[in-house]
Structure 1
């Protein structure tokens, strides 16, 4: 059930089935790393690999599929990249920062809903996990289910998975965004949710039933659900159909969660419980009450930094690039011969089950294969230690301050930041103005800048509203709607920063196309880009037999992908059924590139070929 040695990247999980291409994808995350987000479009292009540092591959993938991808993340928790990257600009259309509908709550789900197409055939993939879109090497859990559109003539079976909760959750996401989504994106998301209602799912191995459990969006949770027990225990009905003191949720239970509180742990420990195993982080278990930690029917297990007992084992696991933290969240309970499982983004806290926006799946299966004893055995390889702390400890001052800074960044990101870009008079550079009404809370000092200029920050005054900040003599690549907010706790000096998604009210014509064109600064890169862009998404590019992109750069021309190889690719694409849209999508980039060039003969050769193909596609 839980094999710590069975690991796959998110890219592998998102990759389309053989013969299919991406139609639409919606993902959610609590924290967001923008460099990690660059790898998402690569997941949907066959042969593109997973390297977000390969600028040509990223440009191709984003240009092809970014209008079909939407990623929603908690405002205020987008990480500041260690190094500014011009390519982050191309992510603008597909990233959406959101806030929870309930004040003081968090947007915390980690799901992906993906629709693939092959001709008129549609298939679906749903991922529900505890994994954020970051490069963190923590131990997470994931459930994957694949589906397809039901065929009334062939599907006589009564499929019991209700798609309504998932469809309503996806439909509600645009309404949580801090800025309005493009109407076309809202229309596409709405269309996806309508088609989703007709999807039927193939259950994972050893799973008999599965239900979608969104939290924090007003969705009704069944009385016998584990999510109901943990969020509103008084109204929950046991798995035996009884209520009050007669109800039972099973004799053996197991909880995995990095964050816990007394109310949630005690809710699992009813009078019928024989043993409850709790797997968590030691410093968090220490905050439980002495009464909870001393309960004879609850066994606590802690996961240290690497989940090992001594330095020698720690060094060995570091060399093996093993897991470096606990981030998984799940509940298992055995009832009769069946095990009930709740798995997803929700920590074992009342904040998660009563306030936050979360997403879990609830499943059942035979106790012999997914039961508590089997899961406990699977966890032995992660070197959990028995936890015997006294409890009652307060969070450290540092962690409390981290929490305050996080909340202050979230509050800052909920404000509207309006940006206006313009060309500098008489110069080949640009100016950008940020206007806002945000002021830091007492005890904090704030600065503002641009994602693309992390070292050029302006102080935000506490009593000057509205406030404006000016940035001048900017290269085009520095023009962005993403602002950088840095907060400092005045007393301690602790600093934390985030990227805030502003509204670019006035933009530079063709800005993103020009930035993309500037990345294709050699004929070799341009050839590689055209090769990738004109190759169908579900076909590996020529000379890429291993799925890698090692043929980029100068090697491209030396291995048969010079002018003659490019001619074949362009001619084939020009004769394809979707040639008109394909060429129209890339033409603005090439037009910008030609305008920026200064008579490179190799580029002129490519231009002649492209213009001839474009004329053939457009016709007389």
Structure 2
């Protein structure tokens, strides 16, 4: 786990079976879904990395056969993007999808999780990833944590992995697989200890800040592309001290000035990036190799005292719906003992462009309200029964 510039890692590469391994189960949770990115995931989990999809679809056919009935992608209803090309294979991918029908006017399905099981000569292996990345073509900066099961020195049981899978991903795993998860021991990145995993199902009200109550750190740093006064205010209500918050200029303008908060910015996240299938086959270059990173989509809260840090990392934006509900979310609470992990993140936030906290922009607020109303109207249309005549 590293926040050093240039140390970005491919999530697809992290989940790809090693030589001699075969995927037996994979469950993905995402808010938005790009079908071309899903093609990339299928190729990574079960395909031929050397196949050129543009000239021959045989690599995808082989990959699809490897992951057939093993891969489930849970996404928010109505948040799926289909490509202009390769439409003939969409029916194959459709069998892997499960749309979570939450009404976004009140709550969203918003967790970002990858859970996979592999078999090989060394026996079964599980990998669990939790973070901020949707299964899309976005090249924004993201943050995530990868845990790998094993029996070596330093591994330990994390009961929350089993409980999260059983509750948030209910119905996606067999009972014997859940039993394996309950007994599994996990290795975390060096200098990182997983204290808790927290999650919330759609419609639930449960705060992710309870374990931060009465903290008195030397510094608070946070990163979130979407914020509101209730979410940031809740953090300030349980954690003492000044906060440096990296967000977007638009989010800051909407939130307005808050005591003890110094705003900084990098760039807004890119919600609608297109991606080619071929890009998904490049391990060394990352998930989406030919487009530059243009924004920050990570969601983090970190406090430091001396050489030690505490961090919350995952899908939850620093908003009321993200931190308390009713959005479905998943986050990891981490204790970080190695300054080499926490230091670069602190520097990245501190070196952002300082923003002057202005009063909310009424014109922008009106535009955003109209956009929300349009989203609500679209969702209401999706709820209505339809038939072709």
What TM-score does the superposition give when structure 1 sets the normalisation length? 0.54
Q: Which residue of 1 aligns with 2:286?
A: none
Deviations 1:84-112 (A, max 9, x none): 61011211211111123997200001110
More helix by share: 1
Give how far 1:35 is off: 1.6
**2:370 corresponds to 1:401:** yes
Tell whether the 8 Å contact from 1:116 to 1:122 is kept in structure 2 after alignment.
yes
CA contact (8 A) 1:100 1:106 kept: yes
Q: SS of the residue aligned with 2:69? A: helix
User: Is 1:30–1:109's contact at 8 Å kept on the other side of the alignment?
Assistant: yes
Q: Distance in 1 between matches of 2:142 and 2:231?
A: 20
Q: C-alpha distance in 2, partners of 1:117/1:14?
A: 13
Q: Is the 8 A contact 2:108 2:202 kept in 1?
A: no
Structure 1 range deviating more: 95-104 or 72-81: 95-104
Q: 1:350 aligns with which of 314, 320, 323?
A: 320
Work out whether 1:469 is the aligned partner of 2:382.
no
Which of 62, 65, 68 is the matching residue for 1:60? 62
**Unaligned 5+ residue runs, structure 1?**
175-185, 222-226, 230-235, 240-246, 308-318, 416-436, 439-466, 471-620
| Aligned mates of 2:81, 2:317 — CA distance in 1 | 22
Deviation at 1:403, TM superposition (A): 2.4
Contact 2:218 2:305 in 1 (8 A): yes
How far the C-alpha of 1:55 sits from its partner, in A, is 1.5
Alignment of 1:89-238 (within 5 A): 89-100=91-102, 104-119=106-121, 121-148=123-150, 159=157, 161-172=159-170, 174=171, 188-216=173-201, 228-229=208-209, 236=210, 238=212
Q: CA deviation at 1:19?
A: 2.2
Q: Aligned-pair distance for 1:411? A: 3.7
Q: Does the CA-based 8 Å contact 1:259-1:280 persist in structure 2?
A: yes
Give CA deviations for 1:255-295 in whole Å, capped at 9, x if unaligned. Answer: 100000112212222587332110001111011133x1xx2
Q: Check whether the contact 1:138–1:326 (CA below 8 A) recurs between aligned residues.
A: yes
Question: Which of 245, 248, 256 is the aligned partner of 2:223?
Answer: 256
In the TM superposition, 1:417-496 aligns within 5 A as 437-438=384-385, 468-470=387-389
Coordinate RMSD, CA, aligned: 3.2
How many angstroms does 1:38 deviate by?
Answer: 1.3
Question: Per the alignment, do residues 7 and 364 of structure 1 end up closer, same or farther by CA in structure 2, a change over 3 Å counting?
Answer: same
Contact kept in structure 1, 2:225 and 2:268, CA below 8 Å: no
Q: CA deviation at 1:115?
A: 0.4
Cα shift at 1:214 = 1.1
Other-structure match for 2:281:
none
Give how far 1:15 is off: 0.7
Match of 2:293 among 323, 337, 340: 323
TM-fit CA distance, 1:204: 1.0
Following the alignment from structure 1 to structure 2, what is the Cα–Cα distance between the partners of residues 469 and 320?
A: 40
The match for 1:303 among 258, 263, 266 is: 266
In structure 2, do the counterparts of structure 1 residues 336 and 142 end up closer, same or farther at CA, with 3 Å as the change threshold?
same
The alpha-carbon deviation at position 20 of structure 1 amounts to: 1.3
Alignment check: 8 A CA contact 1:263 1:349 kept: yes
- Which consecutive residues of structure 2, in runs of 5 or more, have no partner in the other structure? 271-288
Q: Which has the larger radius of gyration?
A: 1
State the alpha-carbon separation in 2 of the partners of residues 350 and 42 from structure 1.
Answer: 37
Q: Is the alpha carbon distance of 1:325 and 1:86 closer, same or farther for their aligned partners in structure 2, counting shifts above 3 Å?
A: same
Q: Which residue of 2 aligns with 1:571?
A: none
Structure 2 length-normalised TM: 0.83
> Measured at CA, do residues 141 and 157 of structure 1 come closer, stay the same or move farther in structure 2, by a change above 3 Å?
closer
Look up the match of 1:366. Answer: 337
| 1:285–1:391 CA contact under 8 A, matched in 2 | no
Structure 2 Cα separation of the partners of residues 62 and 320 of structure 1? 25
Spell out, residue by residue over 1:10-38, the C-alpha distance to the aligned partner (whole angstroms, 9 max, x if none): 32121113321111100011111112111
Distance 1:14 1:237, change over 3 A: closer
Distance in structure 2 (CA, Å) of the matches to 1:34 and 1:218: 27
Aligned to 1:280: 247
